[in-house]
Amino acid sequence: MHLSLWTYPWDIADVGFENFLAEAKERTGVNSVSLSASYHAGHFLQPRSPRRKSYFPQDGTIYFQSDDSLWEGKEIVPLVADHVNEEEDMLARLDGQRENSGVAPSAWTVCLHNTRLGMKHPGHVTRSAFGDPNYFSLCPSSPAVRDYAVTLVADMTKRYRPKVVELETPGFMGFDHGYHHEKDGLGLNPEDEFLLSICFCDHCMAAASAAGIDAKAARETVKTLIAAACNRAVPQVQFPDFPTKGIEAFARYPALRAYLIWRTTPVTSLVAEIKANAHPDSEIVAITGVEDWREGMDNAEIAKACDGLLLSLYDQKPSAITAMVSEVRALIGPDKWLIGGLRVFYPEIVSSDDLASRAIVAKAAGCDGLNFYNYGLIPAPRLDWIGAATAAVRN
C-alpha cells in the first residue's frame, strides 16, 4: 500500500536529513514522502524544530532547481525559493536515497494558488462577476497559466522522477481562502460565497462563449444575485438545495447552470495536459474533495484525465470516511489511484486508535494509498500514531 507523509523542505532541514529519514521510515512506517515542491505563503507553528517555533515560508515559490531552458520565452515563470540555495534541494536529496531507503519521493504541487504570481500577472487571475481580481488564484482558462502549470510538472518530473505528483488547486479557488485580514460584515452564507467565487475573467468569458455558452447572461445573473445579497439587512438563503444538489441547485437559471457545467472543461483539460507532458515514470493524481465541483472539478472526468485522485478525508469520522471513499471509488472505477488524506491535528484526531480506525476504514472502502498531514506541524508523539496507523493497513 502506498503510504506517504506530507512535509516541507524546511522541516527536513531543521531536524537534519538523516534524522528525518529515520523517523519517516522507522517511526511512521511510510514508504513515500510527499514534499512540497511548490507552495504558497503561510504562518506555521513548528513544535519540533530545534531552530524556531514558527515559520513564514516565501510566497509562491518552488522547492527544486528548475531547468531554465524549459522556461525560455514563457510569460509566467516560477521563482526558486531561497531555501533551496541557502539550505539544500530536498527533492534531489530524497530522490538520491530512494533505492537504499525504500522511501520514494512524491511531489506535493500547488498549481494555481499563487499570490506572488497573481500580483505580478493580474491579467491571468480569476475575477468575480464584477471584475474584481482574486490575486491568490491563477485562472485555469488562461493560456499562460496553463503553460506555467504544465511546464512546472514537466520540469520537475523529468529531472526528479517523483513516484506521485499530487496536484493541489488545479481549478478555480473559492472567494474565501483565509487571505490576510479578510473582513466580511455582510455575513456571507455559503451560496453567496460560491457566487463570488465563479470566475468571469476575459479568458473564461471567451472560452465559454466559444463553446456556445451564454456567458454574458450567466455573469449578469450572478451580478444580480450578489447585488441583492449585499442589499439585505441580514443574509437569506435563496438556494435551499445548495450545496446538496451541486450545480443543479441553480437549475432555475439556465445560463448560469450551463456556465457552471462548462467550467469543468478548462480544469479537466489542464489536468490532462499536465499528465500528457509529465514524465511517464511519475503518477499524476489530483487532490480533491467530494464537493470540489465548487472549484470546477468533475472527479470522474479528472480521474480519467490522469492516474487518479487524492481525496481529502479531513474532519471526517470513520462512518463518513466509508461513505465518501466508497462513493468516489464507485465513481472512478477500480483501476485508478484513490489515495486518502488524513490530517493528524488535535482535536480532529484525539488518539492513536482514532487515527488507526480512520485509516482502516479508508482502506476497506477502497483507498489504495494514504497520506498523513503533516510531519513538521505535529508534536513528536503523534508520529507514533501515524506508525500505528500504517502498521494497521500495511498488510
pLDDT along the chain (395 residues), means of 10: 98 97 98 98 96 97 98 98 96 96 97 98 98 97 98 98 98 86 91 97 98 98 97 96 97 98 98 98 96 96 98 97 98 98 98 98 98 98 98 91
Residue 273 exposed, middle or buried by CB count within 10 Å (0-12, 13-18, 19+) = middle
Structural domains of the chain sorted by starting position, each given as residue range(s) with its CATH number in brackets: 2-172+263-393 (3.20.20.80)
Q: Which residue has the cell 451541486?
A: 246
CA distances to 90, 200, 253 from 248, in Å: 45, 20, 10
Q: What pTM was estimated for this model as a whole?
A: 0.97
Q: What is the pLDDT of residue 384?
A: 98
The grid coordinates listed for 364 are 476497506
Q: What is the pLDDT of residue 180?
A: 75
CA distances to 91, 151, 290 from 160, in Å: 7, 14, 31
Sequence-ordered alpha helix ranges (H) in the chain: 9-15, 17-22, 68-71, 82-86, 90-101, 115-120, 143-160, 190-197, 202-210, 215-231, 254-262, 264-277, 299-305, 318-332, 352-365, 381-393
CA distances to 46, 69, 169, 268, 320 from 63, in Å: 19, 18, 17, 26, 35
The grid coordinates listed for 203 are 479568458
Q: How far apart are the first and last CA of the chain?
A: 8
Between CA 96 and CA 160 the distance in angstroms is 9
Q: What is the pLDDT of residue 177?
A: 76
Q: What is the pLDDT of residue 97?
A: 95
Q: What is the pLDDT of residue 181?
A: 80
Between CA 81 and CA 90 the distance in angstroms is 12
Q: What is the pLDDT of residue 254?
A: 98
Between CA 110 and CA 389 the distance in angstroms is 27
In the three-class reduction of DSSP (H, G, I as helix; E, B as strand; rest coil), residue 271 is classed as helix
Contact present, 4 and 34 (Cβ < 8 Å): yes
Q: What is the pLDDT of residue 176?
A: 86
